[in-house]
Amino acid sequence: KKLFTPRDFIDVEGKDIYESADYFQVFIDQMDNERANAFDITTTTPTGSKVKVVDKYSGKELSAISFVSSNYLGMNMHPKVKEAAKCAIDEYGVGTSTTPLIGGYLDIHAELEKKIAKMHGKEASLTYSSGFAANVGVAQFLLNKNDIAIVDTFIHASMYDGLANTNVKIFGHNDLKYLEMVLEKSKGNYRNMIVIVDGVYSQDGDLPRLKEICVLSRQYGAYIFLDDAHGVGVLGKNGYGTCSHFNLSDEVDVITGTLSKAIGAIGGYVAGSDQLIKYLRHLSRPSIFSASLPPSVAVSASKAIDVFSEEPQIIEKLWENTKYARKTLIENGFDLGRSESPIIPIMVRDDMKAKVIARKLLENGVYIIPATYPAVKLKDSRLRMNVSATHSQSDIDYFCEQLNCINKEMEFK
C-alpha cells in the first residue's frame, strides 16, 4: 500500500490549485483511516505542560500532559509577564496599525530591542513579526547571486526560504571536514561567504560545533550567522543563548531568534552591529513593509527576558527536568539520538508508526508530536519531546510508562 507523505501533494503535475487541494484529501483520509492524525487538534487551554484538547475522532475533550510546545520556561503564563502585557494594552492599545519606519516604532519596541542586543552581546537588534520573518528578511536581504551561503543541512526551513536567491552549499550536520572543503573551494569566488548554523537544532536537540565552525570560518574569511530560536532562555549565562554558552558572542556576526519559544510571546529578531542593524531596519522587506509588534507582545517579551535572567531557578528547573527525562528514557532503553538540550527526540524510525504511537499516547493522556517526513528523513521519524520547566517528574514518569505500554504492542525501542 502506498504510504503518502505531504511531499506527494506539492507541485502536483497536471493539477491546478483546486484540483491539488481536492487531491490532498487522500492524505488526510489515510491518516484518519490509520487513526494517526496527530495534527488536526484544537487545544482549549494555554499551551502549557497540562492541556485539554478536542479529540478529532470522538469530539470529546481529552486532558493530557503536553510535550509539544517550545514553551521551555512557562513564560506565556508567568504572572509578571501577563500583568505587563495587560498594562501595555491599557496604555498603548492592542496594535500599532503601522510599520516601524512610519510611526509604528514605540518606546517599548526600542526598549525590547536594547534588551535583545544586550542578551546576545551585540550592539543593536531589530524585531520582526516572527522568527520566520526575521530569518527570511535577513538572509534574503544580505545575500544575492554574488554570494554563497554554506549551511548545516539541519537549519530551519525559514532560513532555507530566505536563501532562494543566492548560492547555497549544504554541509552534512556538523561535518567540519566537508565545511572546510566547501570554504576552500568557494574562497575568492564570491562577494560574501556566510556560514549558517542553528544554536540548538530543532529536531535533534543537539548543538553546533561552534568553536571549530568559527575558527574555520574566520580562517577562510567567511561570516557566521546563527539562528538561536531554541537557545535563548535555555543555554548560556542568564539564559542568554548559545553564543553565551560557548563564550563566542564576538565571533558570530549575525544572530536571529524568536520571541515565541522560551520568551513565550510571538515575534522574531536579528542582533548584530549597529551599522548592520541600521542597514536592515531601513531596507529589510519584512520589517519595512509589515506592522510593528503589538504593544502587549513587545512588553511581555521584555518582561520575560527580565524574569528568566533574574530568576535563575526557572532555567535550573528546566535543566533538572531535561536531565531527569533523559535519564529515565535512556534507562528504559529508548533511543534519544544526539540530544543535549530540552528537545529530546525519541527515535521510532517509521513514519506511520510514529504517527500511530502519538495518537495512542494522546488517547492515554500524553500529547506529543510525531516528527515525520518532510521535517525529517523517513528513516529518522521520531516523537519530539519538548521538556519545560513547568513539567513535574511525575509527568515524565507517566510519559515513560505509557511509552513502555505502547512499545509492548508496537516494538519501536
Nearest approach, Cβ of residue 198 and ligand PMP (Å): 5
CA distances from 193 to 48, 50, 186, 252 (A): 41, 45, 8, 13
Torsions phi, psi for 244 (to 5 deg): -65, -45
Kindly state the helix (H) or strand (E) to which residue 271 belongs, with its residue range: strand 268-272
What does the per-residue mask of binding to ligand PMP show for 261-300, with x meaning CB under 6 A?
A: -------x--------------------------------
By C-beta, is 78 or 156 nearer to ligand PMP? 156
By C-beta, is 303 or 353 nearer to ligand PMP? 303
What does the per-residue mask of binding to ligand PMP show for 338-367, with x meaning CB under 6 A?
A: ------------------------------
Contacts of 179-186 with C-beta under 8 Å, sequence gap 24+, read: 179/150, 179/213, 179/216, 180/216, 180/220, 182/150, 183/150, 183/216, 183/217, 183/219, 183/220, 183/222, 184/220, 186/148, 186/150, 186/220
Residue whose cell numbers read 512557562: 74
Cβ(285)–Cβ(133) below 8 Å? no
By C-beta, is 121 or 205 nearer to ligand PMP? 205
By C-beta, is 143 or 183 nearer to ligand PMP? 143
By C-beta, is 269 or 308 nearer to ligand PMP? 269
Among positions 213, 216, 229, 356, the unique one binding ligand PMP when judged by CB under 6 A: 229
By C-beta, is 260 or 309 nearer to ligand PMP? 260
Among positions 74, 121, 131, 286, the unique one binding ligand PMP when judged by CB under 6 A: 131
**198 near ligand PMP (CB under 6 A):** yes
Among positions 132, 154, 171, 246, the unique one binding ligand PMP when judged by CB under 6 A: 132
Return the sign of the alpha-carbon dihedral for residues 10, 14, 18, 22. negative
Q: Specify burial of residue 274 (Cβ count, 10 A radius: 0-12, 13-18, 19+).
A: exposed
**71 near ligand PMP (CB under 6 A):** no
**308 near ligand PMP (CB under 6 A):** no
For residue 27, the tally of other CB atoms under 10 A from its CB is: 15
By C-beta, is 95 or 365 nearer to ligand PMP? 95
Nearest approach, Cβ of residue 18 and ligand PMP (Å): 28
**130 near ligand PMP (CB under 6 A):** yes
Strand ranges (E), 74-228: 124-128, 148-152, 167-171, 193-198, 223-227
CA–CA dist 390, 317 (Å, integer): 8
User: Hey, which residues does 370 pair with through a beta bridge?
Assistant: 383
Least Cα distance to 361 among 399, 412, 413 occurs for 399
CA–CA dist 9, 65 (Å, integer): 32
Strand ranges (E), 310-400: 343-347, 366-367, 369-371, 382-386
Among positions 30, 66, 217, 258, the unique one binding ligand PMP when judged by CB under 6 A: 258
CA–CA dist 341, 401 (Å, integer): 22
What does the per-residue mask of binding to ligand PMP show for 153-192, with x meaning CB under 6 A?
A: ---x-x----------------------------------
Nearest approach, Cβ of residue 12 and ligand PMP (Å): 26
Longest dimension (CA), the chain: 62
By C-beta, is 35 or 115 nearer to ligand PMP? 115
**72 near ligand PMP (CB under 6 A):** no
Which positions touch ligand PMP (CB under 6 A)?
A: 130-132, 135, 156, 158, 198, 202, 227, 229-230, 258, 260, 268
